[in-house]
Amino acid sequence: MKLTLGILVICTFIKMHRGQVENSVPFLETINNVADRTTNFFENAVDIPRNIYQNAARRTTDYVHSASSKILESKLISLLDTFRICMREGMPDVGIPIMDPLFISHYDLDTHNEEIGDVSGFIHNVTVRGASTFIVDYASLSLIGPMVTLNLTVPQLYVVGYYNIKGRIGNMFDIYGNGPFTATIYNTKIYLHTVLGYSRGLYMKSFDLDFSIESINMDLRNFMRNKKYGKVMNEVLEEMAPKALEIIKPEILPQIQNYILNRANDTLYHLTVRDVINFLTLKIDIGDFRRIVADKIKIH
């Protein structure tokens, strides 16, 4: 009930700094009821089987383990270790930009949710650092498909940028502010499962992606345009963020999946199944693979 306590703290702060509220007892009871409903909704939402590790095990154990070997898994992990370097340096010859740090020039924020509220705004000039520090919790490679399944954890992501936000939380409190912000996101869990297919070119036949965060620390400058009030609201948003992400994920996850899918298919289309299998099993190194991709893109 941390969210309930957070909202009650806000109410007390408002009462102290903005005068007495008429019929304060019924007013606080109403807030408590709304907060309880919101908190219960968050808890129920994440009670739905959302555990990424369980999802991966449930979807892949029966089939993948019978088709994969420890040797292939070891090769896949070695490939991921090499990929860390590529994330930091990029691969411009095959159209892959630097991903750590990742630069986001602009992203619109627009959510209209019955339980969370209505929030709109944007972030821009955002830099995200730390993605290449991922830990491989689970890796499975099957040459039937080929098929790849991964569970990754990124211990910490460091984010800086500019925000502009306004809206209403829980049909109860207005939020607003703009200015620079910093954030540290802890233990981002990522689940990825893909099966490749071939039809006049290689492509992702299926692509499943899921993610969650454990917690977040934020510093939104000029939030609520009041330092003390903004600090309290900032703490409430920090507490809400992991569960709220689960609720709004259906709105944002398809966009992320489609972006990755389209970018990957643009490159895969030029390759053969043999090219990819040789790469995944380390029969060719990443330098040779880049040259193969670059040459085939030029031909087409």
Tell me: the pLDDT tens digits for 160-194? 999 999 998 877 788 999 999 999 999 999 999 99
Using CB atoms within 10 Å of the CB of residue 44, give its burial: 0 to 12 exposed, 13 to 18 middle, 19+ buried. exposed
Domain segments of the chain: what residues?
A: 1-48, 51-230+241-299
For residues 217 and 211, give the distance between their C-alpha atoms in angstroms, rounded to a whole number.
18
Inter-axis angle of helices 24-47 and 2-17, nearest 10 = 150
Closest Cα to residue 214, out of 48, 59, 52?
52
Q: What is the mean pLDDT of residues 144-159?
A: 92
User: What percent of the chain has a predicted confidence (pLDDT) above 90?
Assistant: 32
Give the per-residue pLDDT at 126.
97
- Domain 51-230+241-299 fold is Bactericidal permeability-increasing protein; domain 1 (3.15.10)
Whether pLDDT at 261 is above 50: yes
pLDDT at 201 over 60: yes
| Per-residue confidence (pLDDT) for residue 12, from 0 to 100 | 43
Over 80: is that where the pLDDT of 10 sits?
no
Looking at every residue in the chain, the average pLDDT score rounds to 78
Position 2 confidence tier, pLDDT thresholds 50, 70, 90: very low
| Burial (CB count <10 Å: 0-12, 13-18, 19+), residue 59 | middle
Q: Minimum mean pLDDT among 21-35, 62-76, 98-112: which range?
A: 21-35
